[in-house]
Every structure is written in C-alpha cells, then in structure tokens.
Amino acid sequence: MSNIKLLVITLWLVTAHSLLAGLGMILLPIDWIAYFNITPSEHRFFITQGGVFHIVMALAYGMAALNGKEN
C-alpha cells in the first residue's frame, strides 16, 4: 500500500473521530461528559464551543482526504 493511500485512510479516520467527538460534545447530556475524560463545566457554552471546533476540524480533514495526492 502506498504512503498516499495510508495518509488518506488516516485522514478519514481522524475525520470520523473529530466528527463523532464534536457531535458528542454538543449532544450528550452534561452528566455523561465526565465519562469521556472531559472536565464538565457549569457553563454548557464552552463544551458546545469545543464541539463546534471539532466539527470544523473534521471538515478540514475531510477536504484534505478527498484530494490526498494534491494535499
């Protein structure tokens, strides 16, 4: 398997992880957040902000994975 193919597979795995982490941070109840080693805050805004950041990063990784040879 070529290095480019391994890079593209890795990028898709990182994309999936970032997307799931982001959705989890946004959608999970605050009580469940501590089970994933995220310090729960009394302000839901900061956890949601982290979730949005993960989703934006997932989009960036996905765009890089689409054109593996060029990126």
Q: Tens digit of pLDDT for each residue in 4-22?
A: 899 999 999 999 999 999 9
pLDDT at 56 over 90: yes
The answer, as to whether pTM is greater than 0.85, is no
* Residues 6 or more apart in contact with residue 63 via CB below 8 angstroms: 71
Whether the per-residue pLDDT at 71 is higher than 80: the answer is no
Q: What is the mean pLDDT of residues 25-31?
A: 88
pLDDT greater at residue 50 or residue 30: 50
How far apart, in whole angstroms, are the C-alpha atoms of residue 18 and residue 2? 25
Mean pLDDT for 28-51 is 82
First-residue to last-residue Cα distance in the chain? 18
Both tokens of 58, joined, read: 């997932």
Residue 26 is predicted with a pLDDT of 93
